[in-house]
Amino acid sequence: MLVSLRKSFITGIVLILPIGVTLFFIDLMLRYVGAPASRILFCWMDASIRNTSTMYFITNAVSICLVTIIIVFVGFLSKLFLGKLIIGLTEKLINHVPFVNNIYKTVKQVISTFGSNRDAAFSKTLLVEYPKEGSYAIGFLSSKFEGEVSDKIGEPVVNVFVPTTPNPTSGFLLVIPKRKVIELKMSVTDGMKFIISGGIVTPPCGKITKK
């Protein structure tokens, strides 16, 4: 019973953490950046006008717009050399703060994994016999391998990326005969969740078909 509750708690944390941190960050931005900025913009108005329900709605709308512009600007800045330098220094600072660094790394990893277009990079979720016979790992089909490698092996082969747990940004590229891979019905996103959680977040079971 306690083990089941512990697993459920960890599963909930894995699923909620990115959303919770994002909402917390947006709330801080609205409270300490957007709201003060909107009050400055409308400081020239008479207090009786500023305190009306209509102006309350307008100032909140302006706050949201300002925060959105700032976030978009930071995203654009991150592509430039100066922006990358600032972000790199900030990350180094965060990495030296106990507890906060672990949360930051986890959130960044999850967001980068699900924020990128993984479904476009990988077309299918596969089960492959790795690292030894009788042991299986979750992998993702990246492409079919045609040419010298296929000719040397003497049969059709596929490229399979097998991510590491819990960091799916690293892993191994395996060239495997097509007949030896097992195609799963789970999506690439569900497969990534399974890997990041260390097997705690189990995707819905689907029919397994051998190719």
- Sign of dihedral through CA atoms 191, 161, 141, 155? negative
pLDDT in tens, 102-145: 666 666 665 565 555 544 567 789 999 998 888 999 999 987 66
What number of residues does the chain have? 211
Question: What is the per-residue pLDDT across 145-174, written as a single tens digit (0 to 9) for each?
Answer: 667 877 888 888 888 999 888 777 788 889
Distance, CA of 111 to CA of 15 (rounded, Å)? 11
pLDDT band with cut points at 50, 70 and 90 for residue 207: very low
Distance CA 183, CA 82 (A): 44
E strands, 7-96, in order:
none
**How many whole angstroms separate alpha carbon 36 and alpha carbon 32?**
6
Q: Is the entire prediction scored with pTM above 0.75?
A: no
Q: Give 160's strand partners.
A: 141, 174
3 state SS of 195: helix
How far apart, in Å, do the first and last CA atoms of the chain sit? Answer: 39
The confidence score (pLDDT) of residue 59 equals: 83
